[in-house]
Structure 1
Amino acid sequence: MTLEQIFSIVNSVAFFSWIFLFVFYKKKWVFTVIFSGVFVLMALTYIWFIASGLGGDSQGGFDSLANVKALFSKDEAVLAGWIHYLVFDLFVGMWITQDAKKRGINRWVILPCLLGTFMLGPAGLLLYIIIRTVHLKRFPHHPYDEELVF
């Protein structure tokens, strides 16, 4: 299988996971499928490509932007980096839906947050934090601030 085919597959899996997350957010099975199925398969794929992309003769490091760029000069490493984004953004989307459900925030209100997280990661999370703060009329001190649950 080519890297382009794998790229297409992981993008499709992530895309449909986001759709299932929004449509079936009240169903426990969707979180089980995403967490135990999608995350595990994506993590294994990530490990495979990060090992082949950063292993052996790879150059670069994490101490400067130029070295990070050099570190991800192989297509396998870039694919692994992309999978990293997909998995972590999806995990944040799962947290947003669970937190919103627990706090009584309508799923249509969080749709822009989910779209924003899917496309722009931290920007979507920030939007949710703003909506959550307005809804609760108080800025929570941490993501699991139980005293703010109604």
Structure 2
Amino acid sequence: MSTLEAVFGMASILAFFSWITLFIFYPRKWIYQTLFSGVFIILALTYLFYIVMGLGGDSEGGFGSLAEVKALFGSDEALLAGWIHYLVFDLFVGMWITKDAWEKDINRWIVFPCLILTFMLGPVGLLTYFLIRGIKLKKLNQSPFHP
């Protein structure tokens, strides 16, 4: 197994168990501290290392077109960094969903499908949560910062 495959596996497993722990313990403040101060730092530093390795030097591509983005992630290191990027941001969104649901007294089992969808499909899970949140609050127009 290559180092990149090992890092991919470890990052994926860390994220997976973080999601499980988040669902089980989300009414407890320590889970957010652990994820912010532990998991995010580990994954962010790993991301930083591989994004520098993958995009440094002679990297091609850019953000101006789909073809440029494809070229930008042409190296395995950059692709791994992109995967870690997804893991971190989706987990952050999951943390926000659970905290918001807890504050708004939305049942954890109603939130559960939103978390699975966020873990697997990112924006679809967030959209699902916003629909549930809108029904609970009886408001179509919402803000993530106000009840």
TM-score by length of 2: 0.97
Q: CA deviation at 1:139?
A: 2.3
1:56 maps to which residue? 57
1:31 maps to which residue? 32
Task: Give the 3-state SS of the residue equivalent to 1:83 in structure 2.
Answer: helix
Q: CA deviation at 1:101?
A: 0.3
Please give the residue correspondences for 1:1-150 in structure 2 after superposition, counting only pairs within 5 Å: 2-145=3-146, 148=147
Unpaired segments of 5 or more residues in structure 2? none
Q: Name the CA distance, whole Å, in 2 between partners of 1:84 and 1:125.
A: 17
CA contact (8 A) 2:134 2:142 kept: no
Task: Give the alignment's Cα RMSD to 1 decimal.
Answer: 0.9
Q: CA deviation at 1:140?
A: 4.1
Q: Given residue 9 of structure 1, which amino acid in structure 2 is its aligned partner?
A: M
Identity among equivalent positions (%) equals 61
Q: CA deviation at 1:121?
A: 0.1
Aligned length: 146
Segments of 4+ moved more than 6 angstroms:
none
Q: CA deviation at 1:46?
A: 0.3
Unpaired segments of 5 or more residues in structure 1? none
Q: Name the CA distance, whole Å, in 1 between partners of 2:63 and 2:20.
A: 34
Q: CA deviation at 1:141?
A: 3.2
Q: Name the CA distance, whole Å, in 1 between partners of 2:14 and 2:91.
A: 11
Q: CA deviation at 1:29?
A: 1.1
Q: CA deviation at 1:27?
A: 1.2
Q: CA deviation at 1:102?
A: 0.3
Moved more, 131-140 or 47-56: 131-140
Q: Name the CA distance, whole Å, in 2 between partners of 1:139 and 1:49.
A: 41
TM-score by length of 1: 0.95
Q: Given residue 92 of structure 2, which amino acid in structure 1 is its aligned partner?
A: F
